[in-house]
Chain A
Amino acid sequence: MNRRELLKATGWSAAGLTIFTTSGCGLLPALPTFGKSSEEDALSWIKVDNDGQISFLLPRAEIGQGIDTGLTLIVAEELQTQPEQIHCQYQRTDQMAPCQMTVGSQSIENYGRLTALVSAGLRQELLKRASEKLKCPMSELICQDGQIVGADKALSFRELVTNNEETVFAASTSEELELYSSRDQTSYVGKPTKALHQNRIVTGQEMYSRDIVLPNMLFGEIARPPQLTARLVDAKPKQALSVPGVVRVIQGPNKELGIVAESPMAASEGLAAMKCKWEVLTDADVWNIDRPIDIDKAIAEDLLDHKTIDKGDIAQGKQRSITSLNLRYDTPMAAHAPMEPRAGVASNTASGLEIWTGSQDPWYVRAAVSKAVKIDPDNIIVHNCRAGGAFGGRIHCQASFEAAWLCHNVQRPVKVQWSREDEFKYNYVGPQFSTRIEAGVDARGNISHWHHQMAGAPILTSSMLIPPALHWLANLPADPGTVRGTDLPYNLSNQLTETADIRIPMPTGAWRGLGAAPNTFAVECAMDELAEAADIHPIEFRRRHASSDRLKQVLARLSELTKHETNVGIAATAYKGVTFVGIAAKVERKGSKANISKIWCVHDCGKMIAPDRVRAQVEGNLIWGVSMAMLESFGLKHGIARTTNFDSYAIARQIDLPELSIELMASSEPPSGAAEAALAPAAAAIANAFSRFSGDRIRTLPIGTNG
């Protein structure tokens, strides 16, 4: 395998990383699924069973973003059949080819057209069969409500399934077929609709991975270090076996220690009885784990080795400026804190394992388990349940690896359920970001220069994914996740962007939108200060610099919506260059406190498939933005999480909800993502609103609620 083939096979080229050499091959760990699905892969997603039921095997993880509804509407449109008639099933690794991991708001963009093509292909196959049966040309038949209808006779889908076969699939996908979901007039796409699976959710029937119960199932616990990186030095496994209900203690090759028992209580008691002793970390170790990321220190130590943008001449631009500002912005580490702490269930089969997980990438779960227990991936089936929130934190689903390891050893079904404390302590976090922006405006109110220096930590090349031996290699290019949001949606003639990925022992990784929200916080707060320095309205200042017409239109609409308001905070973004968002926030006094009273959001994500689910995502992003701006900060002290539950890690509550005014712009542009876009500028708009309310600039998050 040559280097290019390796990059393609491992997906790193898709991730924008082109540095791996063949020397790293043997060291490569299980990797997430980067590659997109092909048309051939898509053929297995949709079928008509022998009872006439249409089944759609959802090629994406459903994590609350509503892609179950979105893609099913496309199937419904192509088959001209009510969405309720389509049985939408979650991912299973044995029934479909690997699908790209569900990240980055790409599901409609990368899977919408494929879903439409294969659905149209199935429609064509059904029309062809009906045409033969009815002896009538295909052009005189239509597909409607589970039937193929002709001039004087209709055949149900069931009648089109021949007796000796179980299911009908699309024979092929063809670019020549008309895609009904792309027509201007549609029946289901773009229309108000019931979200899928709601009946199951509101009656408690929906099965998350934590809810899976198997016959003869044991409960597993894993000995976990009290401090990050601390190794187990001593344990008394035999003492655990005297606890009633404990079935076995299992030791791994690297001193991993697990226990399985007939009840969750016996598993916890058994774990306690083992009296695990852990390595005591030195002060230097603890300092290394806890050390904060500080842009000024990073500059002084010459750590900013990635130059991601270099245009024009900063020094010349600065000479032309009438005002130059040198601003520092800091955002803390952030936890995902999904409402479902992760869990996993594994069952032994004749040839391998069957696993229930809630992951953004079930094929990654399969690959990681395959490597850990040395079972061929073809003998491992992963059922991907609806996840109780993910937000970038479930590429890994460690509890399902643990359940699989214990099950493989004990040869009985095992469930591992992380506690809320485990969820905070043992997953990766969104990294801290520390930024300096030196920028100015000239006499005409244009940005004269923009020198952006940012220190963050690896996201796509997270230490959870890349083994230590390859860190040096992964560190060579700028991490594309960490720098997201530093490429401004504005035309600037003199621009220099330098970044550092500082690899700290605390594992860092994807958090909703990757670098977009922390970087956009810095960028849009700085834009606000420049607008003020230039004495130009903050919307007009952004509009005159905006590099795309769609962002200009969003800003123009935001301006209309807020024209009677004074002192609103403004921020905008072009998320990944494809989704355009403008936000205004208003702060007012409520009792003794300054309070966010209203947020306006204008949002353009192209053509919308399921507008209500888009709106739900925008609502969620704005509230997540309130949470990020006001409350959230993951704390590390003495090498261990200080914030371990919702009493110490505060997230937005019902009482924090401002009035929301959301406008989704109608568009015929191709659909783009909506699940993270509105978060990116939300915290900046809120911080700018507080700054205008109080006169003091906010440059560090969280703002806190005591003001």
Chain B
Amino acid sequence: MNINGAEINIPKSWQNESLLRFLRDNLGLTGTKYGCGKGICGACTVHIDGNAVRACVTPINAVGDAHVTTIEGLATQASLHPVQEAWIELNVPQCGYCQPGQIMTAAAFLATNANPTEEEVTHAMNGNLCRCGTYPRIKAGVLRAAEIAGEEHE
């Protein structure tokens, strides 16, 4: 398995576990959060080959040799991802616990839809829960990230 660019061997005793448990409790990559354990809340969202998936309901052995990106691997050495930049610009987080999952969902969504409408954003982000109620800023953040990404491409 390739996680954030590094080749990782999975110890035998972990092979029947979820990707989330392996990331957090074996590798110590704790940026990806446990929220519900059932794929309902989105706190554990990571990318597998660029697609947003729920790590808590993804068995490790289903990942194969795919490329996994976690919140720790989203930014490059040179710069933050446009979604991260937008999140900071708009002060999106409150407690912040759900935000890595929100950001990973948003980044994967924008990769497939560079100029979304508000309504498309609402539906794309609807599977990620936030108890603090940062929804208005999440929505504004995704739209702002689309702008930032557009500016960077110009």
The interface stretch among A17-25, A62-70, A124-132 is A62-70
B88 touches A202 (CB 8 A): yes
Flag whether B125 is at the interface (Cβ < 8 A).
yes
B13 touches A339 (CB 8 A): no
The winner among B70, B75, B95, B136 for most chain A CB atoms within 10 A is: B95
Per-residue A-contact encoding for B55-86, CB less than 8 Å = 1, 0 else = 00000000000000011101100001000100
B116 to chain A, nearest CB (A): 13
Interface: B94 (CB within 8 A): yes
B28-55 contacts to A (CB < 8 Å):
28-38, 40-41, 43
Closest CB-CB distance, A663 to chain B, in whole Å?
Answer: 15
Let me know if B33 and A203 touch, CB within 8 A. no
Is A389 interfacial (CB 8 A cutoff)? yes
Q: How far is the CB of B94 from chain A (nearest CB, A)?
A: 4
| Complex Cα–Cα for A391 and B95 (A) | 11
Q: Does A654 lie within 8 Å of B30, measured CB to CB?
A: no
Contact of B97 among A205, A208, A417, A652 (CB under 8 A): A208
Whether B40 lies near A645 (C-beta < 8 A) is: yes
A194, B90: Cα distance in complex, Å: 8
Shortest distance in angstroms between A271's beta carbon and chain B's nearest beta carbon? 16
A655 CA to B135 CA in the complex, in Å? 9
Complex Cα distance A387/B97, Å? Answer: 8
- Find residues 597-634 in chain A having any chain B CB closer than 8 Å to their own CB: 612-613, 616-617, 619-624, 627
CA distance A322 to B122 in the complex (A): 49
A338 pairs with B134, CB closer than 8 A: no
- Chain B contacts of A341 at CB under 8 A? 34-35
B129 contacts A by Cβ under 8 Å: yes
Max chain A Cβ within 10 angstroms of own Cβ: one of B35, B92, B131: B131
- State in angstroms the CA–CA spacing of A263 and B24 once bound together: 12
A391 CA / B94 CA spacing, docked (Å):
12
Contacts of B139 in A (CB 8 A): 654, 657
Q: Tell me whether A203 and B94 are in contact (CB under 8 A).
A: no
In the complex, chain B residues whose CB is within 8 Å of the CB of A207:
30
Instruction: Identify the closest chain A residue to B99 (Cβ).
Output: A201
Complex CA distance for A622 and B134, rounded to whole angstroms? 11
0/1 string, A187-207, CB within 8 A of B gives 1: 000000011011101111111
Q: Tell me which residues across on chain A come within 8 A of B88, comparing CB atoms.
A: 194, 198-199, 202
Contact A660 B136 (CB under 8 A): yes
Nearest A-chain residue to B138, judged by Cβ: A654
Interface residues of B in 131-145 (CB under 8 A from A): 131-139
Chain A 223-267 per-residue mask, 1 if CB under 8 angstroms from chain B, else 0: 000000000000000000000010000000000000000011100
CB–CB B96/A203 < 8 A: no
Interface range on chain A (Cβ under 8 Å from partner): 35 or more
Shortest distance from the beta carbon of A610 to any chain B beta carbon, whole Å: 10
Q: How many interface residues does chain B have, given as a range?
A: 35 or more
Of A201, A208, A213, A657, the residue contacting B93 (CB under 8 A) is A201
Closest chain B residue to A262, Cβ basis: B13
Q: Is the CB of B94 within 8 A of A66?
A: yes
A290 CB to closest chain B CB (Å) equals 25
B133 in complex: contacting residue of A420, A620, A646, CB < 8 Å:
A620
A647 at the interface (CB under 8 A from B): yes
Chain A residues closer than 8 Å to B84, beta-carbon distance? 202-203
CB distance from A146 to the nearest CB of B (A): 23
Within 8 A of A (CB), among B116-132: 122-123, 125-132
Most A-side CB within 10 Å, residue of B17, B75, B123, B130: B130
Q: Which residue of B lies closest to A679 (CB)?
A: B133
Q: Out of B87, B97, B122, B130, name the residue touching A655 (CB < 8 Å).
A: B122
Expressed in whole angstroms, the Cα–Cα distance for A621 and B136 within the complex equals 12
Chain A residues near B21 (CB-CB < 8 A): 264-265
Shortest B119–chain A CB gap in Å is 10
A645 in contact with B132 (CB, 8 Å):
no
Q: Given the known A-B contacts A202-B88, A204-B72, are A646 and B94 also in contact in the complex, defined by CB atoms under 8 Å?
A: no
Which one of A63, A203, A390 lies within 8 Å of B80 (CB-CB)?
A203
Q: Which residue of B lies closest to A338 (CB)?
A: B131
Contacts of A646 in B (CB 8 A): 36, 38, 40-41, 129
Bound CA–CA A408/B122 (angstroms): 48
Residue pair B96, A619 in contact (C-beta under 8 Å) = no
Tell me, yes or no, whether B110 is within 8 Å of chain A by CB: no
Q: Give A50 to B95 CA distance when docked, in angstroms.
A: 32
B95 pairs with A388, CB closer than 8 A: yes
Residue A419 lies at the interface, judged by CB distance under 8 Å to chain B: yes
Q: Are B75 and A203 in contact (CB under 8 A)?
A: yes
A617, chain B: closest CB distance, angstroms: 8
A206 touches B96 (CB 8 A): yes
A337 touches B131 (CB 8 A): yes
Is A651 interfacial (CB-CB < 8 Å)?
Answer: yes
Whole-angstrom distance between the alpha carbons of A652 and B29 in the complex? 29
Contact assessment for B129 and A263 in the assembled complex, using a CB-CB cutoff below 8 Å = no
Please state if A202 and B103 are interface contacts (CB–CB under 8 Å). Answer: yes
Find out whether the CB atom of A616 lies under 8 angstroms from the CB atom of B75.
no
B100 / chain A contacts, CB cutoff of 8 Å:
201-202, 204
Which residues of chain B are within 8 angstroms of A210 by Cβ–Cβ distance? 30, 33-34
Q: Is B95's CB under 8 angstroms from A340's CB?
A: yes
Instruction: Let me know if B152 is at the binding interface, CB within 8 A.
Output: no
Asked if B31 and A203 sit within 8 Å, CB to CB, the answer is yes
User: Looking across the interface, which residue of chain A has its beta carbon closest to that of B94?
Assistant: A64
Candidates A339, A613, A623; contact of B135 at CB < 8 Å = A623
**Nearest residue, chain A, Cβ from B28:** A213
A264-B21, A647-B40 are contacts. A197–B96 as well, Cβ < 8 Å? yes
- Would A194 and B91 count as touching, CB distance under 8 A? yes
Contacts of A417 in B (CB 8 A): 34
B98 within 8 A of A: yes
A621 / chain B contacts, CB cutoff of 8 Å: 133
Is A92 close to B, CB under 8 A? no
For the complex, is A503 an interface residue (Cβ under 8 Å from B)?
A: no
Instruction: Chain A residues near B74: list those with CB within 8 A.
Output: 203
CB distance from B43 to the nearest CB of A (A): 6
Q: Closest residue to B32 on the A side, CB-wise?
A: A204
Q: Within 8 Å of chain B (Cβ to Cβ): is A386?
A: yes
B154 at the interface (CB under 8 A from A): no
How far is B139's CA from A208's CA once the two chains are assembled, in angstroms? 25
| Bound-state Cα–Cα, A210 to B25, Å | 10
Residues of B contacting A263 in the complex (Cβ-Cβ under 8 angstroms): 13-14, 25-26
Q: From known contacts A213-B30, A652-B133, infer whether A386 and B95 are also in contact, taking CB-CB under 8 Å.
A: yes
Which residues of chain B come closer than 8 Å to A652, judged between CB atoms?
Answer: 133, 135
B32 surroundings in chain A (CB, below 8 A): 204
* With contact pairs A263-B13, A338-B95, A339-B43 given, residues A198 and B87 touching in the complex (Cβ less than 8 Å): yes
| Closest beta carbon of chain B to A479's beta carbon, Å | 25
Closest to A201 in B: B96
Other than the given A65-B94, A198-B93, A620-B134, 17 more pairs (CB < 8 A) read A63-B95, A199-B88, A203-B80, A204-B32, A206-B96, A208-B33, A245-B13, A338-B97, A339-B129, A339-B130, A387-B95, A389-B97, A646-B36, A647-B38, A654-B128, A655-B126, A656-B135
Q: Can you list 12 A-B pairs with a CB-CB distance of less than 8 A?
A: A197-B96, A203-B75, A265-B13, A337-B131, A388-B97, A390-B95, A419-B37, A619-B134, A620-B133, A622-B133, A646-B129, A655-B126
Q: Which 10 pairs from chain A and chain B are nearest by CB? A: A204-B31, A64-B95, A388-B97, A623-B133, A204-B71, A211-B30, A620-B133, A201-B96, A64-B94, A195-B91
